[in-house]
Structure 1
C-alpha cells in the first residue's frame, strides 16, 4: 500500500489510525461478493484491507462493475489494463464519473487517491455501498433498496377539511397546555 510514502507520525498518524479503525471487513467482503457475482471475475472475496485494496486498486474491476450495472457505460477500449499509476487513476476516475451519473451523491463518492494510495478505504466501501443502493433501479442492487418518492396531491377541499380535525397530540382543546398549573408546596424564600 503506497510504499513510497513516508510513515505518518504525530497527529497525522493518529488521524490515519482513526480512519483505519472505521474500516468494516465484513461489509467489504459482502461488497466483493456482490462485485464477483455481477462481473463474473474470479476474485478473492476476503474483506481484509490488503485484499480489498489489491483487488480494486487498478480500477478495472470497478469499470466492469459499472458496465455490469448499466451495460456499455464505459467502452471496453477505455478500460486501461496494467498497473501504471496514471492508467489506474483514469480507471478510478471513469468509475467515479459513472457512479455519479447513476445517482451516487457527491458526498458518498471517494477521491481517487483514497483507493490508489489506500488512504481511506472506508470511503471506498461507503461509495460502493451507495452504488449498490442505486443499482436497485437497474435490478442488480446490493443492500437495502432506497425509498421512492410518494407524492400526494390533496385538493383544496381536502386540505380545509383537515383544519377541522383536532390532532391527537393537542389534547381535548386545540393547543391547550398545562402552563400555569401548580401542584404541591411552593418554594419559600
Structure 2
C-alpha cells in the first residue's frame, strides 16, 4: 500500500477537502468496469467485493501499466508501455494513457495531471478521468462493458429568418434590461420630455 507524506498548513487543508469529496462507491464502479474491460484484476488475488480504497488503488495504477492495458483493450495499439521501476518511465506510461484518452475524444478538462496519480495528490481526479473515458466509450460505440450515463450530445438551436425578424420587432422592457429600475419608476425610454412653463413667470 502506498504511503503519502502528510502536508502541513494550507496543503493539508487542501488535501483534506479533496479526500472528503472522494466517493468509495464510485471508485468501486470504476474498478469493476476496468477489470471487466481488461479481463484482469487491478490488484491480483483481491476479490471484487473487497474495497481497495484510494491508497491501494493508486499504488496499483502508479506505474501506468494497467492504465495502458485498459486503453489497449479499448483501442488496440494505442499505448506501448514499458514495465520499469524508474519514476520517469512510469510517468511516461501515464502520459501515454492520457494522450490516448485525448485522441479517443476525452476532453482535456476531464483529464487528471500525471502528478495527481504518481504523487497521489488527487486520486479523485484519476477516478473522474476514467469515468469520462467510460462515457466516451459509449459515445464511440465501444462493444465492451459500459460505465456511467451516456455522454450528452450538444443540440444547437437553429433559428429561421422569420423567427429572427419577429425577435427584432419585440420592444425590450426597460425593467428587463435593468432589474434595478422598478416597474413603477415612471421611466419612459425614448419619449420626449415635456417642458411646462411656469404660469407665474409667463405673466
Q: What is the TM-score with the length of structure 2 in the denominator?
A: 0.70
Q: Displacement, 1:102?
A: 1.5
Match of 2:40 in 1: 41
User: Pairwise mapping of residues 55-70 of structure 1 onto structure 2 (< 5 A)?
Assistant: 55-70=60-75
Matched, 1:19 2:18: yes
Residue-by-residue CA offset, 1:117-149 (whole Å, 9 max, x unaligned): 111101111111111111113334411111224
Distance 1:15 1:155, change over 3 A: closer
Larger radius of gyration: 2
Match of 1:186 in 2: none
For the Cα contact (< 8 Å) 2:63–2:93, is it kept in 1?
A: yes
CA–CA distance in 2 between the matches of 1:11 and 1:50? 22
Match of 1:126 in 2: 128
Q: Aligned to 1:81, what secondary structure does the other structure show?
A: coil
Q: Displacement, 1:55?
A: 2.1
Matched, 1:179 2:183: yes
CA–CA distance in 1 between the matches of 2:110 and 2:160? 38
Match of 1:8 in 2: 7
Residue-by-residue CA offset, 1:21-75 (whole Å, 9 max, x unaligned): 211111111101000000111234424112211221111111111112222212x
* Alignment match of 1:112 (pick from 107, 110, 114): 114
CA–CA distance in 2 between the matches of 1:2 and 1:42? 18
User: Pairwise mapping of residues 145-184 of structure 1 onto structure 2 (< 5 A)?
Assistant: 145-151=150-156, 155-156=160-161, 179-180=183-184
Q: Displacement, 1:155?
A: 4.9
Consecutive unaligned residues of structure 2, counting only runs of 5 or more, are: 176-181, 186-203
Q: What is the TM-score with the length of structure 1 in the denominator?
A: 0.74
